């Protein structure tokens, strides 16, 4: 449930940044940050696609997988947890790269991008914790109990 | 076997968050429309205009050349507005400078557009600046702007003289101040009839506001 909630917040955030990037929002509420500088840098687009759109797709994927994992038919299976850890692992790596670009190359900070990085980081930790818990509970007994 | 949990409250909470978030995004997308108490579009400098003088409705755009949303509006929405409203004689379009203090390179761009305007090439320079915004904002601004001036066919010695004299700086500041007095605080902003619209809006909303302004003009 925590992953689904966080993924929904991340999805809304990424959608906001993507819609702004493609010109459908008038302004970007960034407070004291430099969202415009970051969003308008050459690094805000990869392979011709706005970076925020990768976030939209990634968070939507996490949301769907986490909701599927809550269903009775899937709740005892490991696959959703593995998939969540895999997707969020890619997301964390990508976010780390984007944060590096903000710090070193663009030299400006987009606070929404940092919030997104924090969200994906927490999702990754929660997914890892879930995998670890499952591994412990599903491990076969090794002692010779009678 | 995992313990069975009633997920209904969770789904409801998730739905509430989704609806609230969607509403927040939609409100940002639609821009904000406020009614100007008393129509006062006057300005010492009327702005750069496109379209027929006999058009019933005037749309005044306040924009900043370094504002990404303004560039997106120019690239994505403005062609539709021109073809459906300006070129059909329904609307006269006016551009007014509104360089924001948070954009350090905007003053150079606004000055360059004004200097191009002296040679009758404001709109050509306007398009160069918005379509190439990423380049001059992140690159060597002055050199790139000179290149745009050359590309639109300006007489370069006159253009450079205008730039070094900072000939239009005071006028640009005055236009911005006049906009602020009308209630403009962000870019792009549009005055359509007696409405001040903050933020980029889709073509359908432009058409609705123009129709309303046309009806108001007919009743007068």
Q: What is the DSSP string of B67-78?
A: -HHHHHIIIIIH
B11 vs B3, more confident: B11
* Ramachandran bin of B47, using left for φ above 0, alpha for ψ from -120 to 50, beta for the remaining angles: left
In this complex, the residue of A12, A26, A28 whose CB is nearest that of residue B188 is A26
B103-124 as b/e, with b when 16 or more CB fall inside 10 Å?
bebbbbbbbbbbbbbebebbbb
Distances B106 to A33, A38, A57, A107, B129 between C-alpha atoms, Å = 18, 17, 34, 19, 10
How many angstroms away from the CA of B207 is the closest CA of chain A?
A: 16
Which of B11, B22, B25, B189 to probe the A interface (max A CBs under 10 A)? B25
How many angstroms away from the CA of A62 is the closest CA of chain B?
A: 14
ipTM for this model: 0.73
CB pairs under 8 A between A and B: 83
A42 contacts on B by Cβ (under 8 Å)? 134, 138
Distances B158 to B146, B149, B167 between C-alpha atoms, Å = 12, 11, 11
Average pLDDT, chain B: 87
Strands B48-50 and B91-97: antiparallel
| Rounded-to-integer distance, Cα B204 and Cα B30, Å | 11
| Rounded-to-integer distance, Cα B126 and Cα B145, Å | 11
Q: Name the phi and psi angles at B41, rounded to 5.
A: -90, 5
In this complex, the residue of A9, A16, A23 whose CB is nearest that of residue B72 is A23
Amino acid B1: pLDDT: 47
Mean pLDDT of B108-123: 97
Percent of chain A with pLDDT over 90: 45
Of all helices (H) and strands (E), which one includes residue A26?
none
Amino acid A108: pLDDT: 76
Mean pLDDT of B166-171: 94
Q: Is B186–A26 a contact, with Cβ atoms under 8 angstroms apart?
A: yes
Cis peptide before B188 (omega within 30 of 0): yes
Q: Where are the beta strands (DSSP E) in chain B?
A: 32-35, 48-50, 57-63, 91-97, 189-192, 195-198
How many angstroms away from the CA of A131 is the closest CA of chain B?
A: 14
B21 contacts on A by Cβ (under 8 Å)? 8-9, 12
How many angstroms away from the CA of A108 is the closest CA of chain B?
A: 12
Percent of chain B with pLDDT over 70: 90
Mean pLDDT of A7-35: 76
Q: Is A12–B25 a contact, with Cβ atoms under 8 angstroms apart?
A: yes
A75 contacts on B by Cβ (under 8 Å)? 2
A54-63, A100-109, B16-25: segment of lowest average pLDDT: A100-109
Q: Is pLDDT of A132 > 70?
A: yes
A98 vs B28, more confident: A98
pLDDT confidence tier of residue B39, bands split at 50, 70 and 90: very low
Write the DSSP assignment of B14-53 as a string of letters: HHHHHHHHHHHHHHHHH-EEEE-SS-----SS--EEES-T
Q: Is pLDDT of A118 > 70?
A: yes
A130-134, B80-84, B117-121: segment of lowest average pLDDT: A130-134
Q: Is pLDDT of A144 > 60?
A: no
Which of B13, B28, B190 to probe the A interface (max A CBs under 10 A)? B28
Amino acid A42: pLDDT: 73
Q: Is pLDDT of A97 > 80?
A: yes
Distances B88 to A63, A82, B37, B45, B83 between C-alpha atoms, Å = 47, 59, 29, 26, 7
A27 contacts on B by Cβ (under 8 Å)? 28, 69, 186-187, 198-199
A18 vs A146, more confident: A18
């Amino acid at each position: 449930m925590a992953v689904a909630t966080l993924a929904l917040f991340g999805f809304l955030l990424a959608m906001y940044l993507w819609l702004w990037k493609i010109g459908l929002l008038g302004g970007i509420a960034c407070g004291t940050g430099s969202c415009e500088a970051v969003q308008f840098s050459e690094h805000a687009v990869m392979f011709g696609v706005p970076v925020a759109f990768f976030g939209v797709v990634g968070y939507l994927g996490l949301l769907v997988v986490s909701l599927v994992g809550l269903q009775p038919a899937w709740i005892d299976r490991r696959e959703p947890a593995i998939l969540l850890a895999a997707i969020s692992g890619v997301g964390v790596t990508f976010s780390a790269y984007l944060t590096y670009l903000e710090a070193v190359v663009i030299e400006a900070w987009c606070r929404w991008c940092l919030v997104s990085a924090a969200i994906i980081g927490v999702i990754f930790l929660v997914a890892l914790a879930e995998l670890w818990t499952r591994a412990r509970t599903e491990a076969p007994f090794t002692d010779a109990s009678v | 076997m995992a313990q069975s949990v009633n997920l209904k409250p969770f789904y409801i909470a998730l739905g509430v968050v989704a609806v609230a978030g969607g509403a927040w995004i939609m409100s940002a997308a639609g821009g904000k429309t406020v009614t100007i108490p008393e129509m006062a579009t006057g300005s010492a400098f009327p702005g750069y205009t496109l379209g027929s003088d006999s058009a019933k409705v005037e749309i005044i755009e306040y924009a900043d050349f370094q504002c990404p949303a303004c560039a997106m509006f120019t690239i994505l929405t403005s062609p539709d507005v021109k073809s459906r409203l300006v070129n059909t004689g329904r609307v006269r379009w006016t551009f007014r400078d509104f360089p924001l203090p948070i954009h350090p390179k905007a003053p150079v761009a606004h000055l360059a557009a004004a200097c191009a305007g002296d040679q009758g090439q404001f709109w050509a320079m306007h398009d160069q600046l918005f379509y190439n915004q990423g380049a001059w904002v992140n690159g060597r601004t002055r050199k790139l702007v000179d290149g745009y001036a050359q590309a639109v066919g300006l007489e370069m010695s006159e253009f450079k003289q205008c730039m070094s004299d900072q000939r239009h700086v005071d006028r640009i500041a005055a236009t911005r101040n006049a906009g602020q007095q009308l209630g403009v605080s962000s870019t792009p902003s549009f005055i359509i009839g007696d409405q001040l619209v903050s933020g980029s809006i889709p073509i359908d909303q432009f058409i609705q506001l123009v129709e309303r302004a046309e009806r108001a003009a007919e009743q007068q």
